[in-house]
């Protein structure tokens, strides 16, 4: 493969991410959907002919297995196909740092980090095991910590169905799939493995995060498998002081030789690990670490900001749309005619109906650019077009572009002889939601609360339900867990009173409350008592 090579007349390869004996992984660009992707190739001609059928089956199994796991901790699968003699799999491109590199750079990780990473892995394993899937190759090289602190479990290529007759065997004769350093004893014996084999591998990963080294070392794979089968289970406490006893006992249980002596499920392990992964914000600041691209990762972040995004302390630098330089004197710019603007708007709506929102917004922005921000931009038709443009930006997910549009609309609408207060309120609310999407959750929350206070005397209780829900979610996002719970409890009672128990909003609020209560360790901020 080479840079700028095109696959399926759609994906352009940009740079290699990794390679092995039988395949390559490239970063690429999806030209149709305007997004970065990862493209994984299986080079069939590099696989020995005797193993090719099994290798192809494992590769296709990875596509199917990963695609059916609808979980935020599993990269999304976008496409699969053939490129010449090679098979390719197009997936979500995951930013961040491989856990193996993080351990190599930092050495033993903090207890909160180790527990938070382990809990997120358990969340993925629990979903996989419910779907009757065992990963079978869990290891630090297959785990990513993203800049938001989320953990992604990669490479389900050797995943196997739990049922013995539910699919073709994936183990080639004479070969054991998996990685010896993290392989459960029963997997080393090539016997049928269940979910507890993944829990054993998780125990190895937790041991390595806490101590800096895997539980066993050997000079060759056979020696490693022998140690997993026969050596006494090592204790984390023998290699590192200060690890809580409960966490030490958990790792020991996970590394039990007999699968029946390990925890019963990934969900059980999740419940044990979660309290160890919660830290106060002031402590978390000391734990964060910058990765190669300068972004900061912190696996405990999802436990402090359950609904994200994370508030940013520094202002976001302006984009070209925040400050548009005039390359031509204003008096020489020919503004578009009403007919030209109407034609642009009609074409933009055609594109929007096809869900080509980015292209629609670009078309409308180009048409409006000569108008600038002068008196002409405040004419009724121009205000309508600008509002349409701002809404198109939101539909396209371009919140950085939408925010200044809504903010300027608020100012210009307020200057009209008879201001449309309802429209101004809408633009302020949309601007606040854009701020939240951009990570400025604290600022967005303050604005939403101000909007609610202003409208409580003007709007009926029913009309205020959506903004009250948004405020509660934002409060949870900045760590105000107790306040968010209180607001959701009050909101739930009002929804039941107004719409009854069968309202879809009742179920949605109850789900949010359940999630918050699981995260709340007792003091209302997500930190343990």
The residues that are catalytic are 137
CB atoms within 10 A of CB 353: 9
In angstroms, the CA 398 to CA 336 distance is: 25
In angstroms, the CA 3 to CA 14 distance is: 5
Helix locations, 397-440, DSSP H: 399-414, 421-437
Backbone angles phi, psi at 176, to 5 degrees: -115, 120
In sign, the C-alpha dihedral spanning 520, 521, 524, 525 is: negative
- Contacts of residue 168, defined as CB under 8 A and 6 or more positions apart, other chains included, come to 57
Strands (E), 147-240: 151-153, 160-161
In angstroms, the CA 270 to CA 292 distance is: 29
Environment class of residue 285 by beta-carbon count within 10 Å: exposed (0-12), middle (13-18) or buried (19+)? exposed
CB atoms within 10 A of CB 432: 27
Distance of CA 241 to the CA centre of its chain: 33
Q: What is the dihedral of CA 39, 40, 41, 47, to 10 degrees?
A: 170
In angstroms, the CA 1 to CA 107 distance is: 35
CB atoms within 10 A of CB 282: 7
Q: What is the dihedral of CA 264, 270, 273, 277, to 10 degrees?
A: 170
- Contacts of residue 502, defined as CB under 8 A and 6 or more positions apart, other chains included, come to none
In the sheet with 143-145, reading across from the earlier edge strand, the strands are: 97-98, 143-145, 151-153
In angstroms, the CA 162 to CA 153 distance is: 19
Say if residues 302 and 120 touch (Cβ distance below 8 Å). Answer: yes
CB atoms within 10 A of CB 98: 18
H-helix or E-strand spanning residue 82: strand 77-83
């Amino acid at each position: 493969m080479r840079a700028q090579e095109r696959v399926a007349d759609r994906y352009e390869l940009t740079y290699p991410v990794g390679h092995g004996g039988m395949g390559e992984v490239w970063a690429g660009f999806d030209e149709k959907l305007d997004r970065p992707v990862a493209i994984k190739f299986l080079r069939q001609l590099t696989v020995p002919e005797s193993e090719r059928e099994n290798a192809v089956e494992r590769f296709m199994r990875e596509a199917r297995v990963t695609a059916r796991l609808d979980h935020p901790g599993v990269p999304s699968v976008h496409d699969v196909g053939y490129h010449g003699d090679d098979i390719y799999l197009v997936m979500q491109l995951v930013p961040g740092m491989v856990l193996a590199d993080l351990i190599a750079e930092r050495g033993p990780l903090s207890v909160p980090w180790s527990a938070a990473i382990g809990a997120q892995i358990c969340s993925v394993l629990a979903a996989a095991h419910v779907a009757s899937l065992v990963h079978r190759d869990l290891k630090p090289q297959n785990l990513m910590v993203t800049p938001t602190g989320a953990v992604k479990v990669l490479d389900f290529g050797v995943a196997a169905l739990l049922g013995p007759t539910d699919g073709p065997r994936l183990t080639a004769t004479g070969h054991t799939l998996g990685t010896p350093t993290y392989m459960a004893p029963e997997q080393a014996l090539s016997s049928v493995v269940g979910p507890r084999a993944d829990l054993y591998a998780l125990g190895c990963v937790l041991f390595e995060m806490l101590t800096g080294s895997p539980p066993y070392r050997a000079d060759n794979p056979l020696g490693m498998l022998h140690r997993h089968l026969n050596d006494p289970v090592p204790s984390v406490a023998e290699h590192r002081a200060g690890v809580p006893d409960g966490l030490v006992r958990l790792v020991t249980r996970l590394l039990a030789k007999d699968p029946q002596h390990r925890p019963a499920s990934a969900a059980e392990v999740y419940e044990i690990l979660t309290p160890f992964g919660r830290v106060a914000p002031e402590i978390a600041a000391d734990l964060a670490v910058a990765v190669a691209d300068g972004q900061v990762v912190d696996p405990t972040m999802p436990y402090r900001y359950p609904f994200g995004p994370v508030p940013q302390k520094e202002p976001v630098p302006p984009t070209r749309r925040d400050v548009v330089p005039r390359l031509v004197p204003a008096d020489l710019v020919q503004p578009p005619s009403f007919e030209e603007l109407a034609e642009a708007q009609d074409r933009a709506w055609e594109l929007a109906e096809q869900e080509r929102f980015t292209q629609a917004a670009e078309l409308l922005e180009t048409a409006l650019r000569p108008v600038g921000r002068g008196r002409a931009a405040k004419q009724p038709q121009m205000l309508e077009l600008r509002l349409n443009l701002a809404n198109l930006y939101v539909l396209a997910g371009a919140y950085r572009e939408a925010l200044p549009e809504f903010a300027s609309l608020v100012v210009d609408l307020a200057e009209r002889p008879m201001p449309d207060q309802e429209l101004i309120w809408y633009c302020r609310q949309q601007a606040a939601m854009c701020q939240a999407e951009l990570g400025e959750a604290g600022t967005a929350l303050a604005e939403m609360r101000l909007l609610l206070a202003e409208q409580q005397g003007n709007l009926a209780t029913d009309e205020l339900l959506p903004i009250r829900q948004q405020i509660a979610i934002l409060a949870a996002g900045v760590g105000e867990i107790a306040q968010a719970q209180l607001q959701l409890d009050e909101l739930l009672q009002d929804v039941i009173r107004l719409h009854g128990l069968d309202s879809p909003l009742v179920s949605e609020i109850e789900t949010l409350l359940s999630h918050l209560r699981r995260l709340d360790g007792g003091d209302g901020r997500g930190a343990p008592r």
